[in-house]
Amino acid sequence: MRKYVTQKDEKGYDSRWKIGDVEVFKITETYVPGPFVVAMSAIHQNTDFSPEGLKKLEWMIPAYTDKDWNADSFMGSLLIKCNGKNILLDTGGGYEGPYFENLKVAGCTPEDIDYVMFTHLHSDHVIKNVKLGVWSEMAFPTFPKAKYLFNKENYDFLVEMQNDPSKRRGYEFHDQLWTYRIYVWPLVEHGVVEFIDDTFTMDGVISLASYPGHMPGEVGVWIKSKGDSMLLSGDVIQSPYQFVQLRAAAKWEHDIDQVAETRKRILETLAGTDTYIRGYHWPTGGYVVKVNGGYQLVPEK
């Protein structure tokens, strides 16, 4: 079994990986702590945190939650260094924290970023896209030399909700109107956006996979180099407990049936392989294993 983690942070969570010739760094904005059961029950549907349900999740202790079911939720970016390029994946949720200091520790300034990619364009993945002036019309790119890569289907979904009120669900985090207007659309106006689809590849090392359900046009980012592989899966699996409860879904999930099918497809593909998977909000990634007809995530094998 290949070992990809090369460094952990002060909390003991994985923070740096080596995938063949590619290095990946976690650029932490903050960790949002919270009582796992209360938080997930409040915002997720189809969950089972009964004593019987929790019994099935005890494998998550201590890597992904503590014994009292408190868990940290990651916010920030992943920095991919590939063939001399600096590629930032997602840009965080706008929390106060040492984001730019952590970027510097990883060897980059905002001016050093060549590309900014996104698993999807929800607010907690795009807030550091721009710096704001006195008025939102003065927004300008945080990463001034970067090309921002927007999945066209993902972007068009936001545009559709702007233009057609009948497409909205009346739930702010699903509709994301303010996200589009402040943190997405201005970059298009600045001419720094390149629209891509899930056939996009870079240097034969980075590729995308369509992972629908959480948001139309969401993608996972695959890194494959010299026989090593890592999947950065975004929010299609927001917490490892969804390895067991496939239909557990946030209120802003676009299509619960579809996201459950996507999760199952990912888990079936990765189970028993050397591929390291990291969901965006997970404190620590790991390897998918099949147990008793279901799936679990283990930090090491």
Q: Structural domain boundaries of the chain?
A: 5-298
Asked whether 179 and 224 are in contact (CB, 8 A), the reply is no
Q: What one-character DSSP code corresponds to residue 267?
A: H
Q: Decide if pLDDT at 38 tops 70.
A: no
Would the pTM of this model clear 0.75, i.e. be above it? yes
- Which top CATH class is 5-298? alpha beta
What is the pLDDT, as a whole number, of residue 175?
A: 83
Asked whether 293 and 240 are in contact (CB, 8 A), the reply is no
- Residue 137: band (very low, low, confident or very high) from pLDDT cuts 50, 70, 90: low
Average pLDDT, the chain: 93
What is the pLDDT, as a whole number, of residue 134?
A: 61
Question: Token digits for 17?
Answer: 């990986």
- Alpha carbon 87 to its chain centroid, in Å, reads 14
**Segment 103-112 mean pLDDT:** 98
- For residue 267, the one-letter residue type is L
Asked whether 221 and 231 are in contact (CB, 8 A), the reply is yes
What is the pLDDT, as a whole number, of residue 94?
A: 87
Question: Token digits for 255?
Answer: 């299509």
Smallest CA-to-CA distance from 47 within 67, 27, 63, 69 is with 69
Q: Verify cis geometry, omega within 30 degrees of 0, for the bond prior to 62.
A: yes
**Helix, strand or coil, per DSSP, at residue 274:** coil
* Model confidence pLDDT, tens digit, residues 59-92: 999 999 999 999 999 999 999 999 999 999 999 9
- Residue 136: band (very low, low, confident or very high) from pLDDT cuts 50, 70, 90: low
Smallest CA-to-CA distance from 75 within 48, 102, 55 is with 102
What is the pLDDT, as a whole number, of residue 111?
A: 98
Q: Decide if pLDDT at 144 tops 80.
A: yes
Measured between alpha carbons, how far is 257 from 253 in angstroms, rounded to an integer? 10
Q: What one-character DSSP code corresponds to residue 204?
A: T
CA–CA distances in Å: residue 156 to residues 116, 159, 189, 220: 18, 5, 15, 18
